[in-house]
Amino acid sequence: MAVRKILRMGHPTLRQKARALTRQELASPDIKRLLLDMIDTLKDSGGIGLAAPQVDESIRLAIIDVPAGPSRYGDIPSLPLTIFANPTIEVVDATTAGYWEGCLSVPGLRGFVERPQHVRVTYQDLKGKTHTLELKGFLATVIQHEFDHLDGVLYVDRMSDIRKLVFEDEYLKHLTTQEAARDDMLV
């Protein structure tokens, strides 16, 4: 187990479409070791999600861990540590909402991004078993943000108004505490 370096915007791996994992790879010691490193890296960074391309592994693998209870994100539903291998997303309801997103690969910046707020995710676990999960609101946004990394997309690519790309310290300084608590997201 180790904390890995998180790639930053500009590194070519972050712009590649990641390849799917085979059933044999899912059960391999190498993937288990990578996942342990990703968990350590996520905890060390203070984020809530991490995709394998962010640690220079161009494979379709991501982890998300949204803690229960009040947090810097406000009062949101939790999602215990979940491993998503070869995930796909289907939009259930295209109604959008916006959040100020941050990213471990785009440190120091936040941008306002609108995304669909009701999605269905199909993914595999490490045994190759398929699971389906429906998510709404903040968690739907988190999932889309993380899975975008698997397709070489960063949140800045999803912004409709580049004037809403700000430095994190300016965002915190100029937004009210209430707005920051409601719209804050760092993944």
Q: Is 146 a catalytic residue?
A: yes
Task: Print burial letters for 148-184: b (CB count within 10 Å at least 16), e (below 16).
Answer: bbbebbbbeebbeeeeebbebeebeeebeeeebebbb
Other Cβ atoms within 10 Å of 30 Cβ, number: 9
Give the active site residue among 101, 146, 168, 170: 146
Q: Are the CB atoms for 55 and 38 separated by under 8 Å?
A: yes
Whole-number Cα distances in Å, 117 to 58, 63, 187? 27, 20, 17
By annotation, the residues acting in catalysis are 146
